[in-house]
Structure 1
Amino acid sequence: MQRIYMDANATTPLLPEVFEAMRPFYIESFGNASSIHQQGQQARAAVDHARESIAHLLRCRASEIVFTSGGTEGDNLALFGILNAENSAAEEPAHLITTQVEHHAVLHAAEALAARGLDVTFLPCTSAGLIEPEALRAALKPNTKLVSIMLANNETGTIQPIAELAAIAHAGGALFHTDAVQAAGKLALDLSPKGALKDVDLLTLSGHKMYAPQGIGVLFVRRSVRLAPIFHGGTHERQRRAGTENVPGIVALGKAAELAERWLIAGAQPLGLASGSANPAELRKLRDHLEQGILSTVEESGVNGAGTDRVANTTNLYFDHIEAEALVIALDLKGLAVSGGSACQSGATEPSHVLTSMGLSDNRARASVRLSLSRLTTAEEVDYALALIPAAVARLRTLSPTYKKAEALTVA
């Protein structure tokens, strides 16, 4: 059976050239990057090179790159690292502003901070999933120390107006963090002093969302920012994140950053990639073809977040009268891997907090499926998906009492 993968927002495949870059650091060059002997210095040089590659992708200083184990740690380090430092020096509890549509790595961290007595505001979003700048401006307080708003939503792909939101936070005297896990490698990110993201103080990315392995990530920390570590041990990462470096993972992420820059800026395909999208515009065309093909053949369906700027690979569609979980299983049995939402919510009985925050009913939220393409997705695979999805939805609707009732009313 042909198998097609359209769940890249959960994790991306490891590119062959990324694997080849990291492989020697498991076998031949296995030294600890903190050791002063030759093997250790080989590892240190590889870590430094990767740090430079990632800094170049983000248009920041290499010294501002902190390696982590992934997005969750990066988000937690940003929130706890800033607010622990700020709260210890404040006369009143520090105030954090975030949103109702964040990834759980931010939401649950914010809830934990609130349980410790910090003041936390969760901003609502519009029906399109956007955070309105005026809502942020109105929420700012004299004790607001940090604003954390994700750049691209992991479920809908909606891109927030981060440059404007960060400028508002700065005008109110607060630092600004963005979870860019679903944006890195898909959008050009310029953190330089004159770049579009010049007011972003902290930014999180994760390797396995950009064709590197799971278990490696980065927190960008602007050099003027005071960050309290949440791990205690050695002096690694300029005393911001203790722990022996994951050298193979770091090397892999550095290589993935180099390939992402080529794909984003030059429009060139990564070496060894014989098919797939050569640049973001091509990937967007594939996504749009998939969306339009589904909407034109499946009645009572639609795109969640339609009409907003979204990352090129992501679509989130609802199919009334079905359960998303049943559709995910039915498509998997036919060889197509998709998702009912965030991978971190797999198996959850509650509807997506992102979709319900956008105003969707529980039933429609539970009837929504995310399809997220990768740079390796081909036009042939999209066409195959277009043959599978309408048929699977039609079969499931024959079992749906709400669909049968709607049909009966139409006939009557």
Structure 2
Amino acid sequence: MTPYFDYAATTPLDPRVEAAMGRASSLGGVFANPSSDHPAGRLAATAVERASEQVRRCINAVDYRVTWTSGATESNNLAILGHVTAQLRRGRERRRLLVAATEHAAVLAAAQAAEALGFSLEQLPVEADGRLAPATLDAALDDDVALVSVGHVNNETGVVQPLASLAPLIQAAGALFHIDAAQGAGRLPLDASTLGADLVSLSAHKFYGPKGIGALVHHANVRLAPLLHGGGQQQGLRPGTLPVASIVGLGEALALADDEVERERQVSLRDALRDRLAALGGVVVNGAVDGSPHVLNVAFAGVHGDALRSRLADLNVSFGSACSGRAGASHVLRAMARPDALADAAVRFSLGRFTTPADIDFIVERVASDVAALRAISPVWREIRAGRKLSDVYGVATLPELA
């Protein structure tokens, strides 16, 4: 089987998680409706609460509530639209939303939907390495900002945002702080309490749990309005019968979060992949080099994006976010000032818990061969080989070239 290099899109179910879910699903397990007031229902409710504790423990959110959702997309919508709707109902005056320009589409679309409710949205520019500079955020903050949303780890580039530097600024402005942790939870440490995060979005399938289950972890003082109606489950905030086995799976997956040894192993594999691809020349890394251990996003100069996607179509790699479709160049790379022609020739390699050195060997050999074949017929690559700078070829002032 072709090695899998799309862990940022979704991860395989960890066998230990699968076993825990199996035990929860059987007749002798905790399959019952946790809202039912009988022994089996109470047993299921206890399993749900145990999973909630596992979530709180993983991200140090002791005084927070856990609201179960279908995934990070719903969690992001509930965080943003749930908050702004509650603001309106309470007559609050804050009407501005700030988000980093590189945020996931679920965050951007939810914030854009809030504009129809009378809120204004400002997408904050990031640096060339993909980070949101504290000074940029500070300049945009005032007493009219209702909420700031910043992702922990970018899903396309693996850039880790400087949350510890951003959080005090948000707190000082009196705005709520939402973190989309879908790509970072279970991979990197996240301390919600120390950061003063008000809302944190999670999605189980990003950290070796089941698809279709997520959570919004929110401070008890945060007021949210429900997006769905029809039942009283979860204090009426998110109605619907709870999928106990999936919830058990999410909790177990977070309890098995990658430790420092596993993170270092993935960093070693990622760096080996980066360095060997850099040896091809004309390779641009998209994102800070000290990003999340599992993501490497690189662009191959002198190669047409469509041709590259065609050549690599049988490989388990990605060309941006799996959620974004192919509507032009990546908005993330555009926000990082990458020219469209180069952004369109970018590939995201994301590895994980089951990636091996042999997988790295395979992917390097295949990609090197295909890129070489495309460059052999590329007039742009001939210009680069003749000594023309990448920045001149692509019409930009600077470009962080690896080799």
> Pick from 369, 374, 381: which aligns with 1:391?
369
Letter of the 1:179 counterpart? D
Mapped to 1, the partners of 2:147 and 2:6 lie a distance apart of: 32
Letter of the 1:203 counterpart? V
Which SS does the other structure have where 1:322 is aligned? coil
> Pick from 276, 290, 299: which aligns with 2:273?
290
> Pick from 289, 299, 319: which aligns with 1:340?
319
Mark the runs of 5 or more structure 2 residues left unpaired by the alignment: 389-403
> Pick from 367, 386, 390: which aligns with 2:345?
367
Taking a change above 3 Å as real, the CA distance of residues 43 and 323 of structure 1, as seen in their structure-2 partners, is farther
Q: Is the 8 A contact 1:321 1:400 kept in 2?
A: yes
Report 1:39-188 matches (<5 A).
39-61=40-62, 64-90=65-91, 92=93, 94-188=95-189
Mapped to 2, the partners of 1:226 and 1:215 lie a distance apart of: 25
Mapped to 2, the partners of 1:92 and 1:64 lie a distance apart of: 26
Mapped to 1, the partners of 2:165 and 2:308 lie a distance apart of: 38
Mapped to 2, the partners of 1:306 and 1:143 lie a distance apart of: 32
List per-residue Cα deviations over 1:267-289 (Å, max 9, x = no partner): 5xxxxxxxxxx511111011001
Taking a change above 3 Å as real, the CA distance of residues 287 and 233 of structure 1, as seen in their structure-2 partners, is same
1:332 offset after TM fit, Å? 4.2
List per-residue Cα deviations over 1:282-325 (Å, max 9, x = no partner): 110110011001101x1211211144x31111110000122445
Is residue 310 from structure 1 mapped to residue 307 from structure 2 by the alignment? Answer: no
Mapped to 2, the partners of 1:406 and 1:52 lie a distance apart of: 55
Mapped to 1, the partners of 2:298 and 2:245 lie a distance apart of: 37
1:102 offset after TM fit, Å? 0.5
Letter of the 2:270 counterpart? R
Q: Is the 8 A contact 2:305 2:341 kept in 1?
A: no
List per-residue Cα deviations over 1:324-350 (Å, max 9, x = no partner): 4543443343xx31100100123x131
1:5 offset after TM fit, Å? 0.3
Is residue 351 from structure 1 mapped to residue 329 from structure 2 by the alignment? Answer: yes
Moved more, 229-238 or 278-287: 229-238
Mapped to 2, the partners of 1:355 and 1:47 lie a distance apart of: 39
1:300 paired residue number: 282
Mapped to 1, the partners of 2:387 and 2:348 lie a distance apart of: 30
Mapped to 1, the partners of 2:232 and 2:263 lie a distance apart of: 39
Taking a change above 3 Å as real, the CA distance of residues 144 and 93 of structure 1, as seen in their structure-2 partners, is closer
Which SS does the other structure have where 2:136 is aligned? helix
Mapped to 1, the partners of 2:37 and 2:311 lie a distance apart of: 55
List per-residue Cα deviations over 1:211-249 (Å, max 9, x = no partner): 001101111101121111111222222332111111111
Mapped to 2, the partners of 1:43 and 1:109 lie a distance apart of: 32
List per-residue Cα deviations over 1:67-119 (Å, max 9, x = no partner): 11101000000001111111333364611111211000011111111133212
Which SS does the other structure have where 2:329 is aligned? coil
2:12 paired residue number: 13
Letter of the 1:351 counterpart? A
1:403 offset after TM fit, Å? 3.1
List per-residue Cα deviations over 1:40-76 (Å, max 9, x = no partner): 2222122111111111111123752111110100000
Report 1:185-334 matches (<5 A).
185-192=186-193, 195=194, 197=195, 199-260=196-257, 263-264=258-259, 267=260, 278-296=261-279, 298-307=280-289, 309-333=290-314
Mapped to 2, the partners of 1:408 and 1:302 lie a distance apart of: 18
1:398 offset after TM fit, Å? 3.1
Taking a change above 3 Å as real, the CA distance of residues 376 and 329 of structure 1, as seen in their structure-2 partners, is farther
Letter of the 1:370 counterpart? R
**TM-score normalised by L of structure 2:** 0.91
Which SS does the other structure have where 2:349 is aligned? strand
Letter of the 1:235 counterpart? G
Q: CA RMSD in A?
A: 1.9
Which SS does the other structure have where 1:145 is aligned? strand
Letter of the 2:200 counterpart? L
Q: Is the 8 A contact 2:105 2:324 kept in 1?
A: no
Mapped to 1, the partners of 2:92 and 2:34 lie a distance apart of: 41
Letter of the 1:305 counterpart? G
Mapped to 2, the partners of 1:224 and 1:327 lie a distance apart of: 50
Moved more, 316-325 or 128-137: 316-325
Mapped to 2, the partners of 1:191 and 1:402 lie a distance apart of: 47
Mapped to 1, the partners of 2:354 and 2:63 lie a distance apart of: 29
Q: Is the 8 A contact 1:114 1:120 kept in 2?
A: yes
Taking a change above 3 Å as real, the CA distance of residues 63 and 342 of structure 1, as seen in their structure-2 partners, is same
Mapped to 1, the partners of 2:387 and 2:170 lie a distance apart of: 52
Q: Is the 8 A contact 1:328 1:339 kept in 2?
A: no
Q: Identity rate of aligned residues, in percent?
A: 40
Q: Is the 8 A contact 1:313 1:374 kept in 2?
A: yes
Q: How many residues align?
A: 386
Letter of the 2:203 counterpart? S
